Amino acid sequence: MNFLGKIHEQYTELWKAVIRPPRDHYEIKDLGPPVFSIENKTFQRTDISLKNPRGLTIVCSHFEPISRERPAGKLPCVVYLHGNCSSRLEAVSTLPALLPFNITVFCFDFAGSGLSDGEYLSLGYYERDDLAVVIDHLRESNRVTCIGLWGRSMGASTALLHADRDPSIAGLVLDSPFSDLKVLCEELVDGYTNSRVPRWVIGIALQLVRNSISAHADFDIYDLAPVQHVSKSFIPALFTAAYNDHFIKPHHARELHSAYAGDKNFIMVEGDHNSARSKFFMDSVSIFFFNTLQCDALVVDVQSEAGANAEILADSVRRPQPPELSQPVEPPAPASQALGLQMRPPER
């Protein structure tokens, strides 16, 4: 009976790891200066707040070129979606991969994360509605053209839960998504019990976790399966997973990639669930969004309007360079801890 007592003690820790992991506490100054430079170009950050359908305030930031260096009134935008014990700080690492190509970056704290209102997360169940509010805001702002989504962990699964209901999204980058929350919880329970207890005991523990999550966060983990949505999504998508991810194992991303209906690609990367992503991956993302967000059209528009200054302005909307082929885009079949990256802005 010792193992039953152990499971009873640990299940609270497990359900909290799902919907109430350690919150990422930070201050606005941690996002860096409101005006900063990358590659001799100057950008600005605008901080705003929005209300989600549950009446909770979600805090947001939009990184864009300053007005005098903005090549057009409306620019492509990538919305970055963070993981389950992270925040919008995580998006800062994406700025050098996107801003130099005049792709603006919008990020926010999901309800229950960072500086936003809310106590619990839902791993995408309610987060998709936060995302819908952000996308509506961007479309009404008259400052963006195409919109792409870049999500990691919970954020990647949220993007998939939203994508089949919003086909106008131009592209998806999906880093370490889970395919089915029930399956993920089963794997987590199995890991917490060290795989040394009978399956029926794991079943009891999973039901306890399910009941606690439903009672605290008002959703059923059995209702959260991105894999049931991907057959209805046709948005170009780039999937990735890390070889040593033991939290959301790579088979989740592989299953989603296999079932996905739209144009798709898959990259395996070194590291684990929380590892900083390689230059190869970041360069691949730059190229993916440059193509799917129709940034080439921006280059052409600038050149056609610039006249004698075409060469100078075209350089401000340059194309990303192909990554060095140091790792496979389509690797062999693969042999992920809550995401808590603490990113800081690039130096001026």
CATH number (domain holding residue 79) = 3.40.50.1820
Cα 293 from Cα 300, distance rounded (Å): 14
Q: Please report whether residue 3 resides in a domain.
A: no
Phi–psi pair at 317, nearest 5 degrees: -125, 45
For the CA atoms of the chain, what is the radius of gyration? 21
Q: Please report whether residue 265 resides in a domain.
A: yes
Q: Please report whether residue 336 resides in a domain.
A: no
159-186 per-residue burial string, b: 16 or more CB within 10 A, e: under 16: bbbbbbebeebbbbbbbbbbbbbbbbbb
Q: Please report whether residue 327 resides in a domain.
A: no
Domains of the chain: total? 1
**DSSP code of 185?**
H
The answer to whether residue 1 scores a pLDDT higher than 60 is no
Cα 169 from Cα 297, distance rounded (Å): 17
234-279 confidence digits (pLDDT tens):
999 999 999 999 999 999 999 999 999 999 999 999 999 999 999 9
Q: Please report whether residue 196 resides in a domain.
A: no
Termini Cα distance of the chain: 60
State how beta strands 171-175 and 41-51 pair: unpaired
Q: Please report whether residue 200 resides in a domain.
A: no
Identify residue 225 by its one-letter amino acid code.
Answer: A
Enclosing domain of residue 152: 27-180+224-316
91-107 confidence digits (pLDDT tens):
999 999 999 999 999 99
Q: Please report whether residue 198 resides in a domain.
A: no
Q: Please report whether residue 142 resides in a domain.
A: yes
Residue of 315 and 158 predicted with greater confidence: 158
- pLDDT band per the 50, 70, 90 thresholds, residue 113: very high
Residues contacting 214, CB < 8 A, separation 6+? 220, 221
